[in-house]
Amino acid sequence: MGKFEKPWYKQTAKALRERNLLEARIKNAEIQIEQLKEDGEKITPSYRPSAGGTLHDGKALLVLERVETLERHVATLQKRVAMLNNALCALTDEERYLIELVFDLGVSGDTAAREMHLSKRSYYRKKDDTVRKIAEMLGFLR
């Protein structure tokens, strides 16, 4: 099995490609939460459970459940962002530049090698080592 077929490599590459979208997904979920809370307050003055722990309005209960689901989703996304940021902080400047070129800007290997003043062979070795390093920090590879 080549390295590109290995699950840890695919997971790491996917996480790096998606990391810029995570912040937008968090913001969108937070906007949805805010809107749902506003809508919930319109449905019933207090859509939180009463002292007895029950909600009598079915719509309010649905709103509360959706808010709680979105809040858990936001917390999960925030953890992923924190893990990725921590992993990127542990890289050298050259490694971070490589990640920026390849996963943020989407440049080809040939272009990245030229931009970094590396031979193709050195570039691909550096890329593989950097992806492996991140995979280990993210727990995809032990």
- What is residue 43's predicted lDDT score, i.e. its pLDDT? 60
**pTM score over 0.85:** no
Q: Convert the pLDDT of each residue in 79-93 to its tens digit.
A: 999 999 999 999 999
Q: Convert the pLDDT of each residue in 68-121 to its tens digit.
A: 999 999 999 999 999 999 999 999 999 999 999 999 999 999 999 999 999 999
Rounded-to-integer distance, Cα 62 and Cα 38, Å: 14
Query: What number is the average pLDDT over the span 45-55?
Result: 53
- What is residue 138's predicted lDDT score, i.e. its pLDDT? 95
Written as six digits, the tokens of 4 are 């590109």
